Amino acid sequence: MPASHSLTIGVMGGTFDPIHYGHLVAAEEAMTGLGLDEVVFVPSAQPPHKPPGDVSCAQHRYVMAILATTGNRRFTVSPVELGRPGPSYTIDTIDELSGAYGPHVELRLITGLDALLEIRTWREYRRLLAGCRIIAVTRPGKDVSALTELTLQLGDLGGQLELFPVTALAISASDIRRRVRQGQSIRYLVPDAVLAYIEKHGLYRADNAVASLCACPQLGCLEAAGGEKVICRYGPVKESLHQQGPATTARAEGEAVPSKRPVEDEPGRTR
Ligand code: ATP
Ligand code: MG
């Protein structure tokens, strides 16, 4: 870390539809193993590589990320992509977070191998790589030798990639959605609070497809819901956040980006 940086923050972007233990373990191990100060999870509003109708409402995914991380004071969740119209490009997020955190914070992107191997399809990936080191966490089913190949293809910028092996958890959000659709258990694949949220809102159920395509006018996905059934407009989701307690509510409604302050060891602080 250059001397001018006083904090290093890992940025873990994803669709998080839903967030699961594979994400959490990868983030925790990268954070502790590489000496990062915090990890900020950034749910994508509109993942550029997925058709809008295939992705659950961003508000649901954002709330689930908060529920999953609230017990770890070094994990935060940023709504930075939720306020931005159009596809959620990583370069825009890094630009925005860098500007918000300031020059004393170094951001490092944490990405699973499967996603990273597609990096040459990402918007302005060269500029992204030039300004941000990327931690490539291993993922079952993805051969690490592909990373060596990618590093070579990227030339000088390949030096910005760092492989970090994490505990292999063959968990994926698509498999979780499939299990719910087929009435199978997802217990112990996601935190209990996420499981309870999925059940409460009927997410991913075959008989409640609309819940996954609910209307969020700010995010432009009203069309995906046919403009009729409103399952989670911003209001009701906020309401459910109030039930989670003051710390979560403050984070969800407050700052547009996470705090710039270093994480402190305050016993009463939950996040
Ligand atoms: P989906 O199956 O819908 O694509 P996913 O499980 O891959 O969901 P994403 O939200 O797409 O989850 O992933 C966000 C980031 O977390 C990506 O960089 C991805 O590679 C990484 N990731 C997801 N699951 C794991 C896992 N089990 N181990 C390590 N990294 C993971
Ligand atoms: Mg994925």
Contacts of 248 (CB under 8 A, 6+ apart): 66, 67, 70, 241, 270, 271
Q: Establish whether residue 172 lines the binding site of ligand 1, counting it when its CB lies within 6 angstroms of any ligand atom.
A: yes
Q: Establish whether residue 112 lines the binding site of ligand 1, counting it when its CB lies within 6 angstroms of any ligand atom.
A: yes
Secondary structure in 3-state letters for 64-122: HHHHHHCCCCCEEECCCCCCCCCCCCHHHHHHHHHHHHCCCEEEEEEEEHHHHCCHHHC
d(CA 115, CA 121): 10
Q: Establish whether residue 64 lines the binding site of ligand 1, counting it when its CB lies within 6 angstroms of any ligand atom.
A: no
Per the structure block, which two tokens stand in for 138?
């291993």
d(CA 8, CA 112): 19
Distance 260 CA to ligand 2 centre (A): 29
Q: Which pLDDT score is estimated for 4?
A: 72
Return the ligand 1 atom nearest residue 168 CA. 28
Q: Which pLDDT score is estimated for 79?
A: 93
Q: Establish whether residue 47 lines the binding site of ligand 1, counting it when its CB lies within 6 angstroms of any ligand atom.
A: no
- Ligand having the closest approach to the CA of 116: 1
* Ordered per-residue pLDDT tens for the chain, 271 residues: 455 779 999 999 999 999 999 999 999 999 999 999 999 999 999 999 888 778 998 999 999 999 999 999 999 999 999 988 889 999 999 999 999 999 999 999 999 999 999 999 999 999 999 999 999 999 999 999 999 999 999 999 999 999 999 999 999 999 999 999 999 999 999 999 999 999 998 999 987 654 444 545 444 443 333 333 233 333 233 223 323 332 232 233 333 333 333 333 333 333 2
Whether the Cβ atoms of residue 247 and residue 70 lie closer than 8 Å to each other: yes
Quick one: how far is CA 163 from the chain centroid? 19
- Ligand having the closest approach to the CA of 17: 1
Distance 50 CA to ligand 2 centre (A): 10
Q: Which pLDDT score is estimated for 208?
A: 64
Give the residues across from 75 on adjacent strands: 39
Return the ligand 1 atom nearest residue 170 CA. 27
Return the ligand 1 atom nearest residue 172 CA. 6
Q: Phi, psi (5° rounding) for residue 171?
A: -110, 135
- Ligand having the closest approach to the CA of 18: 1
Domains and CATH numbers, the chain: 7-253 (3.40.50.620)
Which helix (H) or strand (E) segment holds residue 213: the answer is: none
Closest C-alpha to ligand 1, atom 29: 139
Say whether 134 sits in a helix, a strand or coil: strand
Per the structure block, which two tokens stand in for 226?
């046919």
Distance 113 CA to ligand 2 centre (A): 10
Q: Is the pTM of this model over 0.85?
A: no
Per the structure block, which two tokens stand in for 174?
């698509």
